[in-house]
Amino acid sequence: MAKIGREKGKKLDRKSYRLTLFPIMADKSEKNEFNVPGKYYVDSQCIGCALCSSTAEGLFDMSDTGMAYVKKQPTNDAENALCKEALESCPVQAIGDDGE
Where does this chain bind ligand SF4 (CB under 6 A)?
42, 46-52, 68, 90-92, 94-95
Among residues 6 and 92, whose Cβ is nearest to ligand SF4?
Answer: 92
Minimum CB separation from ligand SF4 for residue 41, in Å?
10
Residue 6 or residue 54: which is nearer to ligand SF4 going by CB?
54
Q: Which is nearer to ligand SF4, 52 or 83 (CB)?
A: 52
Q: SS in 3 state form for 17-86?
A: HHHHHCCCCCCHHHECCCCCCCCCEEECCCCCCCHHHHHCECCEEECCCCCEEECCCCCCHHHHHHHHHH
Query: Closer to ligand SF4 at the Cβ: 6 or 23?
Result: 23
CA-CA distance, 74 to 94, in Å (whole number)? 18
Query: Taking the complex as a whole, how short is the minimal distance between the CB of residue 52 and ligand SF4, in angstroms?
Result: 3
Element at 96 (helix H, strand E): strand 95-96
Q: Output the smallest distance, CB 89 to ligand SF4, in A.
A: 6
